[in-house]
Copies of this chain bind each other. A is one copy, B any other.
């Protein structure tokens, strides 16, 4: 696994659903870049034991963390505590939404 990545170069979306590009993973955590085309979403869901953060790299979207729904743009970071329902949506009509995503611990490797 490479230790260095350029997030600027990770821009590819997918036609059928949001794209998840893995950066790093260990039992302690994973880091991904998600690319959501306009109209795509990660449906609200819950992890029992893992904390997650979404950091907006580019584009705009709507991020849910528990009872909060955040209109997020570049530089916004949202923490989704373990056990809190969370998700993200890129509304129709804008540009791609690129997110740096951290989760700890890793839900499958820990």
Residues of A in contact, count (CB < 8 Å): 38
CB distance from A16 to the nearest CB of B (A): 27
Contact of A7 among B66, B77, B104 (CB under 8 A): B77
Query: How many of these chains are in the complex?
Result: 2
Assess whether A26 is in contact with B82, with CB atoms less than 8 Å apart. yes
A31 at the interface (CB under 8 A from B): yes
Interface residues of A (CB under 8 A from B): 1, 3-9, 23-24, 26, 28-29, 31, 49-51, 53, 55, 57, 65-66, 68, 70, 72, 74-82, 100, 102, 104-105
**Chain A to chain B contacts (Cβ below 8 Å), 5 pairs:** A8-B74, A28-B104, A57-B75, A102-B104, A105-B105
